[in-house]
Amino acid sequence: MANLDRPHDRDIRAASAIDIAPRRQFSRKLKVVGKFNPEDMHVLAEEVLRRIIANRSHHAAGSFVLGDTDRNVYVLNGGVAITRSIIDASMPWYVGSYAMRSAGQGVRMEFPTAADILDDLVEHFRTLQPLHLTIEVSP
């Protein structure tokens, strides 16, 4: 009778086998947060800030903001393994990184303001040279 597994022991072993299975990363297009234009710059800055705060709150990760030559803006989760490859492949699109460090115990995280993000976006698109990048991420 001692040789019989208890039901919960089998569940634990099965769960640990799943945890060590390789995770796959699929090549996907970047999701556009918005398009930078003079009519809704403030709305775009607020949406970017909302995404930065969400990444920090829900994933305990900072964010990278990118802007392409078509004036599309992207916010990437800094806690995802593939993000570093995307940043390296698209460095001319790099606007900035936000909320990357832990504030420490008992210290509140300092987030940028929408005005800070707007200033960074304006400066980025003012200096961005047309460059066509194709981002392909291999698994």
**110-134 pLDDT tens trace:** 889 999 999 999 999 988 866 555 5
| H or E element, residue 47 | helix 41-59
Q: Kindly state whether residue 13 falls inside one of the protein's structural domains.
A: no
Q: Is the pLDDT of residue 55 over 50?
A: yes
pTM over the 0.85 mark:
no
Contact 124, 95 (CB under 8 A): yes
Q: Kindly state whether residue 110 falls inside one of the protein's structural domains.
A: yes
Q: Kindly state whether residue 34 falls inside one of the protein's structural domains.
A: yes
The number of domains in the chain is 1
Q: Kindly state whether residue 137 falls inside one of the protein's structural domains.
A: no
Q: Kindly state whether residue 15 falls inside one of the protein's structural domains.
A: no
Q: Kindly state whether residue 19 falls inside one of the protein's structural domains.
A: no
* Separation of alpha carbons 56 and 78, rounded Å: 9
Give the pairing of strands 63-67 and 72-77.
Answer: antiparallel
Q: Kindly state whether residue 77 falls inside one of the protein's structural domains.
A: yes
- Could you tell me which of 47, 139, 128 has the C-alpha nearest to residue 91? 128
* Separation of alpha carbons 31 and 131, rounded Å: 19
Q: Kindly state whether residue 103 falls inside one of the protein's structural domains.
A: yes
Arithmetic mean of pLDDT over the chain: 77
* Domain enclosing residue 108, as ranges: 25-127
